Structure 1
Amino acid sequence: MQLRTQILLVISAVLLFNCKSAKTVAGGDANFNLSSRQLIKENSKRSPVYQTLKSTVKITYDDGKKVHSHSVSFRGKRDEVLWMSAAFSVVKALITPKKVCFYNKLDKTYFEGDYDYLSNLLGTQLDFQKVQNLLMGETIFNLKDDHYKVSVDSGSYILQPKKQRELFEIFFLLDPSIFKVKSQQITQPKELRHLQIDYLSHQEVSNQILPEKVKVIAVENNEELIIGLEFKNVSLNEELRFPFKIPSGYKEIKL
């Protein structure tokens, strides 16, 4: 398995989840009359509450040359750890606030380091909290940490900072009926990079509104990567283990 494929499996696995016995959330009456402050408050109210989660996920990604599909097991403990394992534990990964680790049994290699490579690959600076936010269908940046202006276009609220950052531009599209994120887009014009995460549908489980189908688009120069996520057989708040040990004799990958 090529290094890029390994990394994509890791990224894909930590950007997703679904819940057992869930039902797709249907939009209610849309309210397009909220201020940015009211909108952010309504979005915050709908942040899901959980302690642990697990799921089996089908991941499809298209790099413009080939389309690959994998099923992975995923587990997470809020604010502490994200864990994934491909079939037969061929690729296994562990992500904590301090580091990113994974190993590949096929070529007996492993990686243990920080978030720099994942950040470079997706074109935006990542840390554990940002990855967890994407996983949960939350905005990559805390909306309460900046001042936003609001507009309406094509049936969605659009939030953008009153003053865009120097190196990149941010846009958040929110559903006007359930106030969840429909899309978040980060563009670096000078670097010709664009990252877009579209939440195509949401679902409700245990009174929590969670992502159901997600599409991730990462563009750099003329290269485009598309990741599709389909979530199955997930449960919340079970007692979970996160077994991970790099086998002896494996060669370290330097990134």
Structure 2
Amino acid sequence: MKTYLLIIFSALLVASCSVQKKTTPEQPVSTTKPIENNSQFFSAIEKKSTFDAVKINSKIDAKTGSFIPTLDAVIYVENGQKIWMNLTAVILQAARGVATPEGIKGYYKLDKTYIDSDFSYLNKLLNVNFIDYNALQNLLLGKTFLPVSDNQYKLTQNAQGFNLSSKETQKITENGKTTEYNISLDYDKNLELNHVLLTNPRNNDQLEITYSNREILNNESFPKSVKIIIKAKKTDEILIENTKFDFSRMETTYSVPANYTKTEIK
């Protein structure tokens, strides 16, 4: 159950990433010189997407230490309202999950178990402590999902685009628990987020997300490839290949079948 829910909610985090296109000069630039008057950069990366809803067909491959077949997924994002996902393995439904501002729900058909939780469950799965619905939505839309500011981060420009690096360890408090992270975010020349790395300096645990192979649809940029690496006592790796995007609304039913057992993450 835990393995499939890790796939579900990791995919919910990053299955669709979109940001408005921006233009920047193409000439070579310094890889170390800080940018002056960078308020426009911070303003641009905080812009919100305007799409109403998007349905994404994906294929998911996971390396978690247990055998998991390639999964077919349908991921539906209703902007600001819900994130819904259905997984199938060899034409049979395997799992389904939904996230709303109130929390997350999911069930795994093969062992007839389900969860119904606030976002602490997802934070435990991802080995972090800062994910709520707004952070999930921002990350999902390719936005900066952590609080960043000019005085706490160093912004530099390089040949590939831009880098934001925390000047000192960032302390994030969630539900009374404070965790420290060293944070690095990379953006391309169009200010599209393409790499995130969070490192806990106390134990070197990491969460790394890479976006690539983008496609422009409805004036927004979506990655066709998303790679998630979660490094803790062991390393889990999830690769999401987005194959089709549809911007029409769809029905997203969710109900736990009878005789399923509620489970808690250990």
TM over 0.5: yes
Secondary structure at 2:191's aligned position in 1? coil
Change (3 A) 1:145 1:246: farther
- 1:130 maps to 2:126: no
- Which residue in 1 is equivalent to 2:259? 249
CA distance in 1, matches of 2:225, 2:146: 21
| TM-score, structure 1 normalization | 0.84
Structure 1 residue 16, shift from structure 2 partner: 3.8
CA distance in 2, matches of 1:116, 1:145: 29
Quick one: which amino acid aligns to residue 8 of structure 2?
V
Name stretches of at least 5 consecutive residues in structure 1 with no aligned partner.
20-24
CA distance in 1, matches of 2:258, 2:150: 44
Secondary structure at 1:107's aligned position in 2? coil
- Which residue in 2 is equivalent to 1:22? none
The one of 144, 156, 170 equivalent to 1:139 is 144
User: For structure 1, which segment, 9-18 or 108-117, has the greater mean C-alpha deviation from structure 2 after superposition?
Assistant: 9-18
Secondary structure at 1:244's aligned position in 2? coil
Quick one: which amino acid aligns to residue 41 of structure 1?
S
Change (3 A) 1:232 1:18: farther
Q: More helix per residue: 1 or 2?
A: 1
CA distance in 2, matches of 1:170, 1:108: 38
Secondary structure at 2:214's aligned position in 1? strand
The one of 215, 240, 252 equivalent to 2:250 is 240
- Which residue in 1 is equivalent to 2:184? 171
Q: How high is the sequence identity, in percent, across the aligned residues?
A: 23
Structure 1 residue 119, shift from structure 2 partner: 0.8
Quick one: which amino acid aligns to residue 59 of structure 2?
K
The one of 40, 43, 61 equivalent to 1:41 is 43
The one of 12, 21, 24 equivalent to 1:14 is 12
CA distance in 1, matches of 2:213, 2:96: 28
Structure 1 residue 148, shift from structure 2 partner: 2.5
Secondary structure at 1:117's aligned position in 2? helix
RMSD: 2.6
Change (3 A) 1:116 1:18: closer
CA distance in 1, matches of 2:100, 2:53: 14
User: For structure 1, which segment, 90-99 or 6-15, has the greater mean C-alpha deviation from structure 2 after superposition?
Assistant: 6-15
CA distance in 2, matches of 1:112, 1:40: 36
- 1:60 maps to 2:56: no
Change (3 A) 1:146 1:84: farther
- Which residue in 2 is equivalent to 1:200? 212
- Which residue in 1 is equivalent to 2:177? none
Structure 1 residue 230, shift from structure 2 partner: 0.6
- 1:92 maps to 2:90: no
Secondary structure at 2:257's aligned position in 1? coil
| TM-score, structure 2 normalization | 0.81
Structure 1 residue 52, shift from structure 2 partner: 0.8
Secondary structure at 2:256's aligned position in 1? coil
- Which residue in 1 is equivalent to 2:73? 72
- Conserved 8 A contact 2:45-2:144: no
Quick one: which amino acid aligns to residue 39 of structure 1?
F
- 1:191 maps to 2:203: yes
The one of 3, 22, 30 equivalent to 2:26 is 30
The one of 89, 105, 108 equivalent to 1:104 is 108
- 1:212 maps to 2:224: yes
Q: Say how many residue pairs are matched.
A: 243
Change (3 A) 1:164 1:59: same
